Structure 1
Amino acid sequence: MIMHFQFKPLFDNKNIPGWNFSFYYKKQRYTGIYHQTGKIEWTTNTPEQAEMDALTSQVHELMLYHVYD
């Protein structure tokens, strides 16, 4: 389960889409960039392939809930 999910706009002009995000998963911190297209660019601690799909799906859901709601 993702814990302490946070995000902030990439740009000072908040009309330009793109967000930095971070969260903890299994006591490890992950960070990345969520692009307007839904593409996730991991910037630190890329998840293992076995967990990549689940974490990517959870990040998408959280971003849709917080940003596009």
Structure 2
Amino acid sequence: MPLQREVLANRTKAREILLRAFQVAKAAHATLGFACRLIAVFGSVIKPGSRFDEYVLHARKLRDLGSGGR
């Protein structure tokens, strides 16, 4: 089984191909940074000691007060 390789004579083109992989990683890192900022914002709003069902029950009580006159 012979080995076949593509040899790039132009070094600039070879660098561009190599850097494409890093551009994808940079985009993923920016997305993770945005997610970390969201966690920081929501983490300060929501008490970490409470459970999720407590928040849902509290939200339902607030919604029922608004439509209680019907």
TM-score normalised per structure 2: 0.26
Q: When you count helix as a share of all residues, which structure comes out higher?
A: 2
Q: When you count strand as a share of all residues, which structure comes out higher?
A: 1
Which of 1 and 2 has greater Rg?
2
